[in-house]
Amino acid sequence: MVTFESHSQPGVSTLPAARVRRIIKEDKDIFACGADSIFLVSRATEYFIDSLVREGYEFARFDKRKTVQYKDMAKAVQSIEQYDFLSDIIPPTVTLKKTSAAADKDSNE
């Protein structure tokens, strides 16, 4: 697992607080959310995104690439139990050949 190293200033988030507040307000179960809570959600989101991208980068490095591609992110989601909840959002890549073979099989039945 890749570790997180913070290079940001304490008390500052890179995510815009107004957008985070708007996303939080979309949840009908939450009636109010203070500035401290919005900051904590923002920082937790930053940590999560950083962790996921670093894991994707590790898979890109295994393939001797410096650019993280979708397939690297999909491999990270499929191979790391912590990201299982993302398997519907970031499914593994499927080749056109496999897709065509599955479609042919379905049409023959």
Sign of CA dihedral 29, 35, 40, 41: positive
What's the pLDDT score for residue 52?
95
Distances in Å between the Cα of 66 and the Cα atoms of 15, 72, 105 are 25, 11, 38
Largest CA distance in the chain: 61
Rounded mean pLDDT for each run of 10 residues along the chain, 109 residues in total: 60 86 91 90 94 95 94 94 93 80 68
What's the pLDDT score for residue 80?
93
**CATH code assigned to 17-108:** 1.10.20.10
User: Which residues lie closer than 8 Å to 14 by C-beta, 6 or more apart?
Assistant: 8, 42, 46
**Structural domain boundaries of the chain?**
17-108
pTM value? 0.73
- Name the H helices within 26-69: 35-62
